[in-house]
Amino acid sequence: MELGTAKRCITPQKSLRLSGFSFRNKKFDEVSQDIYLRVYFVKHLKRQLVIVYADLLGWGDPLVSRLRTECSQKFGLRAQDLFFVASHNHSGPPSGLVATHAVEEPDPAYCDFLIQEVLIGIESAEKTMEPVDLFRNDGVCPFNIYRRKPEGPGATMRPNYEVPADQRLATISFRKRDGALKGILISYACHANIAGGNTLHPDFPGIAMDLMDRRFPGCVCLFLQGFTGDMRANFVLGNEFYRGSYQDAAVFGERFGKLCANLAEQRSEEIPPFLYSNQMRSKLPLKNSVGREECLRLINQGSLLEKDWAEVIQKKAFAAYETLDAGLIVLGAGIEFFTLNAEVSHFYAEYARTLVPDALCAGYANGLIGYLCTEMQIRHGGYEPKESAVYFGLNGTYPPEIEQKIQGALETLWRNAQKEIERDGFSKE
């Protein structure tokens, strides 16, 4: 297997409004720390894979569509070999999400800049291609907590220690033939929303990766945010979460980075490489959809948020569904990643591990279609399955039956992968 890496600064050259919080309604005050784009270009035998990471809230669907076209024309990459992932950083600039302005105000010039940086990053990564050996290390990171607490007939966003958080931490190390680290993939599930100030920075994932890049010269680290739709950093006062500062994010990031670096340094058994990637798209239905007449009423008579929401629905042609983009990456025996283009409940990661033991998961991949909750969570209600729909510009809310559809997509991806693995003679034993 060969790996090429690149790291590009994507700090905006002018002040923009940060994404992720409706209470932050002006352009950022200053840059507390630069943000980056990170690229892995992987080749093995006749297959190739590109993972593009950014310190962003997510990748907008229009941006992903443009990038797939550009990368196909320039590099001959298939859509199924391209994965655009984000840390879900709430202190980063806009990326063209199809959402209300309460979440993000797109900036076309910045989106154009991102496209150019992605193309430069992929080209640069391909030029640094060299043979690598694969290693996986697993640990535990107790820094996160389940963030949904049943209260009365519903659920509120509060710390809930009774439901176990997904505290699995994994590092995938790519070592050059001389043993030096060329890349480290980090897999963990925790919302990157520690800081609520109006300064630009990468929150804890980017802070941790910068620390690791410095610790291992010549290495480019890459964070795959897990299924963290119901996971949050354990920043708690009493029975409530509290919003920290950049300094809090920096302390958290440094602690997390040291933990990841120490884990990656542990020697483990080399994993024989096998490269495979695939993606599939399917429709997820929405219930309680708004039609043309109600949209016009909201545009003319609704609140600012309702008006904005209705305009987004109108742009989507009143579609009563969202498109699920589910993906699978296999790097070797025991290194399998499932990806989804949403904020995903950690219970889906548990389901993925019933298909593939020790499977890893990455949300916020190739777009962002809101929160994907389980049937139980949808019936409980609360912010994730219900109240968030307006902010993400959904024409309704997801019904309980999406759980079976999402599980079915993950199962189909793995079943198709097994056929190809068996055909090419790869054994899991």
- Fill in the DSSP letter of residue 269: -
Domain ranges of the chain: 2-274+327-348, 276-322+368-423
Asked if 60 contacts 111 with a C-beta cutoff of 8 angstroms, the reply is: yes
Give the DSSP per-residue string, 56-91. SS---HHHHHHHHHHHHHHH---GGGEEEEE---TT
Q: Which residues contact 238 (CB under 8 A, 6 or more apart)?
A: none
* Mean pLDDT of all residues in 292-301: 90
* Mean pLDDT of all residues in 249-267: 97
Asked if 346 contacts 364 with a C-beta cutoff of 8 angstroms, the reply is: no
* Mean pLDDT of all residues in 253-262: 98
Res. 425 pLDDT band, cuts 50 70 90: low
Q: pLDDT by residue (tens digit) across 381-406?
A: 999 999 999 999 999 999 999 999 99
- Can you read off the two tokens belonging to residue 359? 């499977």
The 10 Å Cβ neighbour count of residue 318 is 14
Calpha distance 120→7 (Å, rounded)? 10
pLDDT at 427 over 60: no
- Fill in the DSSP letter of residue 401: T
Burial class (CB in 10 A: 0-12, 13-18, 19+), 274: buried
**What pLDDT, on a 0 to 100 scale, did the predictor assign at position 428?**
40
Calpha distance 308→311 (Å, rounded)? 5
* Mean pLDDT of all residues in 295-309: 91
Q: Which of 46, 40, 47, 197 is nearest to 129 (CA)?
A: 40
Max CA separation in the chain (angstroms): 67
Q: pLDDT by residue (tens digit) across 65-87?
A: 999 999 999 999 999 999 999 99
Calpha distance 60→367 (Å, rounded)? 5
Asked if 391 contacts 104 with a C-beta cutoff of 8 angstroms, the reply is: no
